[in-house]
Structure 1
């Protein structure tokens, strides 16, 4: 048993992700499915703004639950009951997402208040002494954000947007308004949990392939489009898990315990936000175009497909910058390169854009891997 494992067991935290947390993540990922539906139902800038706002406030609280279970292992009935109550709150949020701006905003707000309240109570009652001190400082800001989300549920039009945008701003600023160094970040569990939610989110792009083909006759060209869609999901997986997943954990572990909370929230909170939004948008692009691969793509579908992948690479760029990982600039180059494939779908056919996107994205990842190998670094996959 390592010293880190011993320390975690004494403090009540975890080194590895529990099956209950995986169950929790399956409930959370339903929100990603619902957000994909929001964009595909009325694709455009307004839908994108709704996805950005809704996922922003949801992601903050999901990440808060990762911090929670990093400190408080769900190893007794009281903790599991509270965690299941939080899962119920997330499920209510997910159910309310499609019409959150047109009638179910109150349900969304109430679900958010429940999620927020359970998080604070469980942290306060079961966390270690340092975590209890930390949650006392940040809980008022979380409560303010929850109040704004609830107020937005009762509001309409621009006031609803303003309330939820204000809640998101409060969340983004909160780590800079209070001292978060009393939170204990156990790097192994923390990084594994965030990695798993990325895996499940990428799975949404696979689901989007299936739902986009509902009722379609299975033909050879259609099977080819499916193969391209799965290849794109693989590229997204490989881009993060080929190297960055392991290097991120090592980099976070190398930071002293007292100073680890700041890079943790920047790399796994802020940086993963555009990455996950990118998966949602790209999944929407796949869903809108996969069944009509032999036709020109709409502007919204083409932009969502390539733009989502570009957002994913941009999130990786931020992730590498925060943790001081090598060659973050390569992900910005990749983001620009995949955006250049948008005109292919509009001017020609959707399958050609998807093929170009896979080729450009995979080339960018492979080139980065080759450079990594030549510098003498390896991972579990290369």
Structure 2
């Protein structure tokens, strides 16, 4: 059971030592598959429309995951048998949603939307039944948006073209906007549990990049160029991991722990539920760029794969800076510089062999990680604080 500690606003907050449960890890597996499906869709539809469709699908899938990350932080779903069964039912519905992703704007649109509605409805039902009274009140306040968005997607399944796109945009705007406009007062956040869930989902996204290396090299003879491209790809993924896990998560967790009550919930909403989508999305687009590089290592990248590789890297760093600004009201100038530099590489990436473009991007990220590791005073202060606390 989770211990509780007094809160300054008169309630109780879960002890920050609470960990992610095996049920949550099991539940996340279906999102691993869903993210893989988005990557596959992007790889098979290298058009601007395909990119936009992938972004919309990722936003919808991410928001479903976000809802359950808040829910399982408030309720120990594994310990209560009926709750466990409902979560597993939602997992089955989410599998159908993931299966429908490749044709979610075509023949499988209704399957995607109906399954998604079931996933989101079960989330609200669980909150309404088992959460604390103040959380139930908060859920009732945002329920019109949380149900309205999926219902609009059901309507979108019966349309196509511009009408379908407009309905999708409306659904996402309503779903994401309701907790911004109506607030998250009444929701509660257990810091260690909440941060750990998001660390794990970043790992899932980075795992997509590693899978992309295997997919890109599938069926190719392991010539020197393929081996070099694969090594560059994994070094880039390691650099992405390093930039997030070396000290960013330490600073963010301590910042979140300093807040209490509704202020903590608002910070969690902004820094994690909203801003982490930029990072996860960036990594998934980087995975596409790596895959295309492996498949055509001795040819220039096309425009869209170049945008995926370089733009995904830039989006990842912009997400980091948005995260830092929301938490600390500061930005990392080196990360802004590197983000601008990788965007400037796009015209080069469509002219030189793709392995050379990947090498340039990787060099920038390794250099950034090395610079911050050696020179960052912020990192040194965090490490020193951790040592003193120990």
Task: Note whether the superposition's TM-score is higher than 0.5.
Answer: yes
Structure 1 residue 188 displacement after superposition: 0.7
Asked if 1:189 is matched to 2:193, the reply is yes
Matched position secondary structure for 1:154: coil
Partner of 1:46: 49
Structure 1 residue 223 displacement after superposition: 1.3
Deviations 1:169-209 (A, max 9, x none): 01221123323120001111001101100001100000011
Q: Decide whether the 8 Å contact of 1:92 with 1:108 is kept in 2.
A: yes
Asked if 1:37 is matched to 2:21, the reply is no
Partner of 2:22: 19
Partner of 1:159: 163
Matches within 5 A, 1:172-183: 172-183=176-187
Structure 2: runs of 5+ lacking an equivalent: none
Deviations 1:52-91 (A, max 9, x none): 2111122112101100000011112111111111111221
Q: Decide whether the 8 Å contact of 1:92 with 1:107 is kept in 2.
A: yes
Asked if 1:320 is matched to 2:324, the reply is yes
Deviations 1:77-109 (A, max 9, x none): 111111111111221111111111121100010
**TM-score (structure 2 length as normaliser):** 0.92
Structure 1 range deviating more: 20-29 or 185-194: 20-29
Asked if 1:306 is matched to 2:310, the reply is yes
Q: Which whole-Å CA distance do the structure 2 matches of 1:120 and 1:238 have between them? A: 36
**TM-score (structure 1 length as normaliser):** 0.94
Asked if 1:108 is matched to 2:112, the reply is yes
Structure 1 residue 212 displacement after superposition: 1.1
Partner of 2:347: 343
Matched position secondary structure for 1:160: helix
Q: Which whole-Å CA distance do the structure 1 matches of 2:38 and 2:17 have between them? A: 31
Q: Decide whether the 8 Å contact of 2:145 with 2:178 is kept in 1.
A: yes
Asked if 1:279 is matched to 2:279, the reply is no
Structure 1 range deviating more: 97-106 or 215-224: 215-224
Structure 1 residue 139 displacement after superposition: 1.1
Partner of 2:245: 241
Match of 2:146 among 129, 138, 142: 142
Structure 1 residue 40 displacement after superposition: 1.1
Match of 2:221 among 203, 217, 238: 217
Q: Decide whether the 8 Å contact of 2:302 with 2:350 is kept in 1.
A: yes
Deviations 1:322-374 (A, max 9, x none): 11165334332221111122233321111111111011012123323333247
* Runs of 4+ residues over 3 Å off in structure 1: 1-14, 325-330, 373-376, 378-382
Matched position secondary structure for 2:222: coil
Q: Which whole-Å CA distance do the structure 2 matches of 1:79 and 1:221 have between them? A: 51
Q: Decide whether the 8 Å contact of 2:229 with 2:294 is kept in 1.
A: yes
Q: Decide whether the 8 Å contact of 2:73 with 2:189 is kept in 1.
A: yes
Structure 1: runs of 5+ lacking an equivalent: none
Matched position secondary structure for 1:260: helix
